[in-house]
Structure 1
């Protein structure tokens, strides 16, 4: 019981600290004089530097999903539904979630390690002494960049994964370019696309907040930096699943599914 109580205390303490950290973010982001140059720089590092990994993963997702789904549909005589099924699956759920998990691994760990290193080497303390607002410069810019770039990466990944699906449909079958895209988009609606993009905004925000929180509050030297990067990935990935579950329930209540 003592161990369970300790775990519960640590969990709720962590939740409280992240909540205060998030509240401070919203307070700082409303203050004038944003660090736009650093924000654009972080968009480059978070977005462009992650694009290759996201693109390769999205292409393989679309290709594999189509190849794996085709035999089952053929067995039930529904092979013509392959483009529709693949497009709905990729757009609604698979591509946004997998893309966000990739971002949680790469972006979350990168931010956690970077800010953790700055914390243990006292660079953040030096910024405070020099009169610079390190929270606004380091945290606000990274969280905003993550919130903006994850949805953009998700949109690009959806297009690439659908192209992978087209190639997968033509490996053992023959579907024309026009027919595949007509069936794919005919099965989709704004109720499929818009909610999947909106939830990636929250995924990106969660990834940025968790990565910055773990790095900004890092301690215990280089060991703490490694722990910050690792826990940032774990917590951010878990939050992606939790937020996705909440988003699915909301869209179901609104009748968008």
Structure 2
């Protein structure tokens, strides 16, 4: 996979990789004030809309956890439109239906655009590479979001969480492109808890993370680690600045997990930084 695409291991999970029967240490990570965190994210979106002189926000609705929480936050902050962009040849129909149902529950405007014809046409003109085409799906969705935002004088709201941002598990200039990132301060496990706080359906709050950039694509299968393990390791590595051995003990995961998470973070640094030579703010 290109470094600019989603970054992850193709290793399959074969069982628990935790070094403790108690599982990864997430207690402190999950003990946050979710009401305050939601209010802060709402203010972030409202401020971004106001600062840009926009009429509201546009975001991609996938039917998954992150986009559902982001949509709920946006719906409290400003006029919000959800763009549902399945590739009908890859995306399970149930995901599209969940996204449409969620938009109805939240009372936000939404439209559905099947990107399959666009993907097929692109594939006719480029070399065959399934993974590159998967990342192209994310970039096609980005183009559609910015087209709609441009046409309606709105801003694009990204749905990446802190876990994905820190390990580079997003497509550069795809789902990583946005004008504001309201849940980028929350780890994946915190986003799950936030879904409960916001009263979102349990079927979405508990849903397995699955980008569906190609058939059968799910996040933990590609990464080879559970998000509970990733989050516990990241919290020790990034927030507490620990070395690998200490992080493994405190997070209650193996040193192999800690080393892999650290390596992913370091290898994806370019995805979080401005391009060399970029003009300043």
Question: Which band: TM-score by shorter chain?
Answer: under 0.3
TM-score (normalised: structure 2) = 0.24
Which has the greater radius of gyration? 1
* Structure number with higher strand proportion: 2
Q: Which has the higher helix share?
A: 1
